[in-house]
Structure 1
Amino acid sequence: MTTTARASRRTRIGLLQVCAAGVLWGTGGLVVTFLHERDGFGAMTVSAWRMVIAAVALIVFATAARRGRAVLRTMREHPLLVTLVGCGTATYQGLYFVSVLMVGVSVATVVSLGLAPILAATWEHLAAGTRPSRRQVAVLAGALSGLVLISFAAGHGSAAPSDEPALGLLLAVAAGATYAGTTVLGHRLSQQVEAIALTTCATVVGAIVLAPFFVVAAVTGAPVLTPDPVSLTLLAYLGIATMALSYGLLYAGLRTTSGSAATVATLVEPLSAAALAAVLLGERLPWLGVVGGALILAAVVALNPAEEYPAPV
């Protein structure tokens, strides 16, 4: 196998890892909605549990895999970037989960991810002094067209969960911008450190950022924990599968995939979220949503992650 072929294979594996992370993320909104309706958990309380559980799981795994020194070295050598990535991750998921409770799973997911590829690609090309190729423009246009169709389809047939849908949409937009910035920073850092070390450090920082919401919930009389085994299992799933595992896959994929390509690849998240919402929550997804999903899948398949920076301007 030639060097070019090996590089192409690595980038494709990286995209698959990012797509797998997107599929796992797509289940998170539904679990948060279920926990809110079943146990009365607030979005920030669930976000805090998700981060804390993930941080504990990652520390245990890193220690068992003898990567503890790599984790400490990453925090010591890149304290600012690690802190920014961790804070960005915590902020993004908090904003996203609040918007889920306000405008629904499908709409919140679509809007929060819709801006990310545009912002990430714009930043990368501005930083590199390049312009996007026709292929990149076509892929992005196809992906965003799919998002628009899914958003339109998801907005029909299901009422907004709260009486402040505009605020929910604004929070989803803020979540998308935060996600784009965090992905770009994570891509830069993933080139210098191991994926497990980056994931562990960023998650621990995020857990510290969100931990005060336990106190807020307790002071306001909101539920902080439940003895129900089903809810505890779902909290564990959120932390281990949709946080520890998914972000490990993301940062592993970012080692061989650009940040902009990764944000396009994670658009499989709204596909899984919309499909599950239609089945479990009764959020109808008509034929426009199916067409939108097909466009997103076609855009992901057409991605060429090796083509990160085309011709200079």
Structure 2
Amino acid sequence: MVGQAQAVAAPRHHEQSHLRGLVEVAGASVLWGTGGLALQLIREHEPMSPITISAWRMATAAVVLLLALLALRRGPELVHLARTRPRQLLVVGVGTAAYQGFYFVSVTQVGVAVSTVVSLGLAPVLLTVVESVRQRRAPTPGRLAVLATALLGLVLVSVAGHASSTGPDPVLGVVLAVASGTTYALTALAGGSISRETSPLVLTSGMTLVGAAVLLPLLAVVDGPRVSADPVALAWLAYLGVLTMALAYVLLYSGLRVVAPSTAVTASLVEPVTAAVVAAVVLSESLGPAAVAGIVLVLLAVAGLGRPSAAAGPVLPDPGR
């Protein structure tokens, strides 16, 4: 009887952990979705390049997380991670810096709509294929329906919100967007693997340290001011670093402990939805019928990910159980 009860309780616990992880990834995506507004407000007060802002965002997160580790006396855990998993940590840190850089440059070449659709849309497709090959079976109809719904919603939200956006070199922009989406998928895959063996706080601390080491040297070659004394710009830079980087990635890696990478990147499509809603509320930008339909489709798809039979990947056991 005890064995039967445990057998029944285990799948239920896995499902509860899956839902918790899905909420954490969606929470991270909501925070990321506010980043565009913060970047815009910074550039209104200080004309920094997006790469410069990204570098300080990463560096701010690294400092805050290191202080948190020291306060919690968990610094040795970061040293242990760097010694035992140096390659994986480098992949996650460099990958995170790279896919953001590819995306920002892609936007300048082909516009926001195409960059967002290609980069964010490619990642869940690639990871769904990878997981299907690993499991040696095709995705279930439910998973394919969720993925198709999410991608259609992404297209509607992105194109409706940025229909007039263009760029000087569309071919280069699309190539960079593909590079961003591919790097994002690979980074999520690597992060999902290492997150099951270490604390999300420790992993995010190591990732931001590596990312800052990659991005800060670029300040020597980018155009525009490299620092700012404007208090508003500094406040929004702190917001980007603390909330949209440090907190958001702790949530992401916590979610990846129990949610498959393809599920996580599909749920991250909440990011452009959040950006559209924030722009409508704060900047009074209108949401047309297509954008509203896209928002509804993305939210329905993310809600569908809560069903294990329709999740865009396997339901993983909780490593902490």
TM over 0.5, yes or no?
A: yes
1:56 is matched with which residue: 41, 60, 63?
A: 63
Aligned 1:135-146 pairs, distance under 5 A = 135-146=142-153
The TM-score with structure 2 as length reference comes to 0.88
Q: Is the 8 A contact 1:106 1:277 kept in 2?
A: no
Using the alignment, how far apart are the partners of 1:33 and 1:103 within structure 2? 18
Q: Is the 8 A contact 1:47 1:97 kept in 2?
A: no
Q: 1:305 to 1:243 in 2, by over 3 A?
A: farther
Aligned 1:96-115 pairs, distance under 5 A = 96-101=103-108, 108-115=115-122
Name structure 1 gaps, 5 residues minimum.
none
Q: Is the 8 A contact 1:115 1:173 kept in 2?
A: yes
- 1:138 Cα offset (Å): 0.8
Using the alignment, how far apart are the partners of 2:308 and 2:146 within structure 1? 14
2:195 is matched with which residue: 184, 190, 195?
A: 190
Using the alignment, how far apart are the partners of 2:122 and 2:165 within structure 1? 23
- RMSD after superposition: 2.2
Alignment partner, residue 296 of structure 1: 298
Identity of aligned residues (%): 45
- 1:34 Cα offset (Å): 2.9
Using the alignment, how far apart are the partners of 1:107 and 1:252 within structure 2? 30
Q: Is the 8 A contact 2:113 2:159 kept in 1?
A: no
Aligned 1:1-313 pairs, distance under 5 A = 2-101=9-108, 108-156=115-163, 158-160=164-166, 162-164=167-169, 167-217=172-222, 222-281=224-283, 284-304=286-306, 306=308, 308-309=313-314
Deviation digits for residues 95-124 of structure 1 (CA, Å, limit 9, x no counterpart): 223344555556544432111110111112
Using the alignment, how far apart are the partners of 2:109 and 2:248 within structure 1? 24
Using the alignment, how far apart are the partners of 1:174 and 1:27 within structure 2? 23
What amino acid is aligned across from residue 81 of structure 2 in structure 1?
A: T
Name structure 2 gaps, 5 residues minimum.
1-7, 316-321
Using the alignment, how far apart are the partners of 2:169 and 2:278 within structure 1? 24
SS in 1 for 2:225: coil
**Large movers: runs of 4+ above 6 Å:** none
SS in 2 for 1:192: coil
Using the alignment, how far apart are the partners of 1:247 and 1:305 within structure 2? 24
Using the alignment, how far apart are the partners of 1:44 and 1:88 within structure 2? 15
Using the alignment, how far apart are the partners of 1:187 and 1:201 within structure 2? 15
Q: 1:31 to 1:164 in 2, by over 3 A?
A: farther
Q: Which moved more, 1:92-101 or 1:18-27?
A: 92-101
Using the alignment, how far apart are the partners of 1:246 and 1:101 within structure 2? 25
The TM-score with structure 1 as length reference comes to 0.90
Q: Is the 8 A contact 2:15 2:308 kept in 1?
A: yes
SS in 1 for 2:221: helix
Q: 1:105 to 1:37 in 2, by over 3 A?
A: farther
Using the alignment, how far apart are the partners of 2:285 and 2:65 within structure 1? 34
- 1:227 Cα offset (Å): 0.6
SS in 2 for 1:35: helix
- 1:171 Cα offset (Å): 2.8
Q: Is the 8 A contact 2:266 2:302 kept in 1?
A: yes
Q: Is the 8 A contact 2:42 2:232 kept in 1?
A: no
Q: 1:113 to 1:235 in 2, by over 3 A?
A: same
SS in 2 for 1:58: helix
Q: 1:173 to 1:281 in 2, by over 3 A?
A: farther
Using the alignment, how far apart are the partners of 2:172 and 2:276 within structure 1? 21
Deviation digits for residues 138-189 of structure 1 (CA, Å, limit 9, x no counterpart): 1101111111222331233x444x5445544443332222111100111111
Deviation digits for residues 234-284 of structure 1 (CA, Å, limit 9, x no counterpart): 111111111000000000000000000001111100101122234445654
- 1:127 Cα offset (Å): 2.5
Q: Is the 8 A contact 2:157 2:290 kept in 1?
A: yes
